[in-house]
Chains A and B, each alone.
Chain A
Amino acid sequence: MRRISTGTLLAFAFILIFSGCQKKDEVIRLGVAGPMTGDQAKMGTDFKNGVILAIEEWNSKGGVLGKKIEVMIADDQHDPKQAVSVANKLVNDGAAGIIGHFNSSCSIPASDVYNRSGIPMITPASTNPKLTEKGYKGVFRVCGRDDQQGKAGAEFVLQRLKLKKIAVIHDKTTYGQGLADEFMKQVSGKLDIVYYGGIVQGDKDFKTVLTSIKEKKPELIYFGGIYPEAGLLVRQARELGISTPFMSGDGVIDPKFIEIAGPKPAEGTYLTFSPDPKKFPTAGKFIETYEKRFGELGPYSVYAYDAANIFLTAMKEAGTKDGKAVIDKLHSMEFSGALGKIKFGEKGDVTIAPYVVWITREGKFVEHWKPGG
């Protein structure tokens, strides 16, 4: 092994270069990007599974435009830098469209890359308003926006709970702080915000923050962030003898939240999220297949499934895999999928995004309140 001739090395180099270029046109490639490893891997896996089911259904019916569909799975490790590099890789590998990313902090920088290459991107889960406020034509989302979500949360706090004093914490990420700020915007002036501050994502000790909050005696603690931190916050709050209820958003609605916090401390936590997909008659068949194959349905699996279906339908109707044509079709068509009817507005947001408030009861999430109810 000590002497490898230059010729052999060159030969290897060429094999590597050309093996990457083969077969680009024989299949339609769909990129799925999200956190596939790391502490949010479950979310990424949930929506990867949703997309896989959609694609298998299409392939069993002969694919799209007469070609088979292939999934390319990309792991952004919920890191914005990584998101940009996987976005570039997906574009270079010939992705015709992207389902992803999960975190807003990843979707926003990655959308620059897709926009530059003219590839449509549909995110099943990134709810930060900025994503679709950049004026990119090819960026869509099948979920709601944090300003809509924050508003639903604020309405619940003001009209149903009728609270006077609350504390707000966020995890300093685009999603977490974004959601917390949207919520603040809606409630500010109408009640007393006794604490506002950030924590570090990935940190495990929140007792110092909670101790400062305890003094101020809020009636509710609002948290903008994801489930690992939410679970620890709730658990440590109860250890400090804080019995104040928590409220958070869609990033926390995951069984792991209850597992981390413990069923008892988590009891009574309010979460804003879309209505239960299990209540949509249109989603029944998908959920059954999904649960038989992958186990329990993730909160965003249905969204990912619909996102993939919308994209492929648009491509089929456009009759070409050309990015621009598909994007135009996505803007004009109306789609009915597992979540019901979906139509994109001018910015690429769904025209109807209903948010409801869920609550944890005996270790399970249940729908609790609808705006106006």
Chain B
Amino acid sequence: MFFQQFINGLTVGSVYALIALGYTMVYGILELINFAHGEIYMLGAYLGIIFFGFFTLTGLTSYSLSLSLALTIILSTAFCSAYGMTVERIAYRPLRNAPRLSPLISAIGMSIFLQNYVMLTQGATDKVFPHIFSTGGFTLFGATATHLQTVIILFSLVLMVSLHLFIRRTRMGKAMRATAQDRIMASLVGINVDTVIIVTFVIGSGLAAVAGIMVAMYYGLVNYSIGYMAGIKAFTAAVLGGIGSIPGAMFGGILLGLVESLGAGYISTEYKDAYAFMVLIVILLIRPSGIFKKSAEEKV
């Protein structure tokens, strides 16, 4: 049972980690908690269903399943990045120098708007992602990991490693780290802060979109309200790891998934959602700034 719960937790945890990265990156650079981020994940799930449905209608799916899946992921990610950018442009940029509470309220407003926008345009009923994956998988120590679970875990890992390399090894990554340390100094040494912020939102939203599509495929069921709980959990994961820290978000997400799944497995399933928050409280009591955050300077 332990391995099965471990695999279950790892799958859910990878998804939390992908969403948490968006929270943490935006916080690192803008010191803003982007509450609309959970909705971007929900939009990703919806767009995934819409694009995949479109490819099924046009016959691409029966021609090549992997091609249509790849296209679905690319298109939904692109659309979500555009959504993320737009949210930044209309809801956060005008408030960049306003008191910190204003963009926060604006973020909550954006979240409510996006939820209702999807509810009104797509309807309030659950949308079902077609069953395209076999329920089979491979067995390890008596635990079954479905193919889709394996794909989710591996794909998330690849994305996280690439993000890490991007931040550590590229010019843009360096600019992002500089902006996170001090926005005004960064702009004085010639970094285009606006571009850096846009790139941050594009990457964060893209990761959330991928998480959304994978969840849509994994559970096969999506509705307009899934962004709320996922957003709260991912935010918890980000705080757990130390908000602003990228390895912290990855670690926090996976830890949260494992705690939920093992807590539910060994204690009681009725309080599954409570375990995550209990761990958060305990960690914050011991390390108020999160597990990975050492000091205010290292934000990204």
In the complex, A337 has a CB within 8 A of chain B: no
Would you give the shortest CB distance from A195 to chain B, in whole angstroms?
Answer: 9
| Distance A38 CA – B261 CA, assembled complex (angstroms) | 28
Whether the pair B272, A228 counts as a contact (CB closer than 8 A) is: no
From B222, which residue of chain A is reached at the shortest CB distance? A204
- In B215-234, the 8 Å CB interface with A consists of 215, 219-221, 223, 225-226, 229
Would you give the shortest CB distance from A95 to chain B, in whole angstroms?
Answer: 24
In the complex, B5 has a CB within 8 A of chain A: yes
Chain B residues with Cβ below 8 Å from A209 are 264, 269
Query: A198 touches which one: B12, B144, B219, B270 (CB < 8 A)?
Result: B270
Whether the pair A262, B269 counts as a contact (CB closer than 8 A) is: no
- In A169-228, the 8 Å CB interface with B consists of 172, 197-200, 202-205, 207-209, 211-212, 214-215, 228
In the complex, B159 has a CB within 8 A of chain A: no
Interface size on B, residues (CB 8 A): 35
Chain A residues with Cβ below 8 Å from B229 are 202
Whether the pair A204, B226 counts as a contact (CB closer than 8 A) is: yes
| Distance A84 CA – B265 CA, assembled complex (angstroms) | 37
Contact with B along A307-328 (1 / 0, CB 8 A): 0000000000000000000000
Would you give the shortest CB distance from A256 to chain B, in whole angstroms?
Answer: 7
* Given A209-B264, A212-B1, also A260-B220 (CB < 8 A): yes
| Distance A241 CA – B8 CA, assembled complex (angstroms) | 13
From B228, which residue of chain A is reached at the shortest CB distance? A202
Whether the pair B1, A215 counts as a contact (CB closer than 8 A) is: yes
- In B108-137, the 8 Å CB interface with A consists of 119, 123-126, 128, 131, 135, 137
Chain B residues with Cβ below 8 Å from A236 are 219
Whether the pair B225, A172 counts as a contact (CB closer than 8 A) is: no
Would you give the shortest CB distance from B262 to chain A, in whole angstroms?
Answer: 8
- In B192-239, the 8 Å CB interface with A consists of 215, 219-221, 223, 225-226, 229
Would you give the shortest CB distance from A258 to chain B, in whole angstroms?
Answer: 10
Whether the pair B125, A39 counts as a contact (CB closer than 8 A) is: yes
Chain B residues with Cβ below 8 Å from A214 are 1, 4
In the complex, A347 has a CB within 8 A of chain B: no
Prevailing SS type, chain A contact patch: helix
Chain B residues with Cβ below 8 Å from A228 are 126, 221
| Distance A314 CA – B180 CA, assembled complex (angstroms) | 72
Contact with A along B180-196 (1 / 0, CB 8 A): 00000000000000000
Chain A residues with Cβ below 8 Å from B31 are none
Query: B131 touches which one: A38, A197, A198, A262 (CB < 8 A)?
Result: A262
| Distance A205 CA – B12 CA, assembled complex (angstroms) | 8
Chain A residues with Cβ below 8 Å from B8 are 205, 207-208, 211
In the complex, B260 has a CB within 8 A of chain A: yes
In the complex, A238 has a CB within 8 A of chain B: yes
In the complex, B268 has a CB within 8 A of chain A: yes
In the complex, A239 has a CB within 8 A of chain B: yes
Would you give the shortest CB distance from A41 to chain B, in whole angstroms?
Answer: 5
Query: A208 touches which one: B131, B220, B265 (CB < 8 A)?
Result: B265
Whether the pair A212, B269 counts as a contact (CB closer than 8 A) is: yes
From B216, which residue of chain A is reached at the shortest CB distance? A204
In the complex, B289 has a CB within 8 A of chain A: no
Closest 6 CB pairs of A and B: A208-B264, A207-B8, A37-B124, A262-B131, A204-B219, A209-B269
Cross-chain pairs A/B with CB under 8 angstroms, 6 sampled = A37-B124, A212-B269, A214-B4, A232-B221, A238-B135, A256-B128
Residues of chain A having any CB pair with chain B under 8 Å:
37-39, 41-42, 172, 197-200, 202-205, 207-209, 211-212, 214-215, 228, 231-232, 235-236, 238-241, 256, 259-260, 262, 265
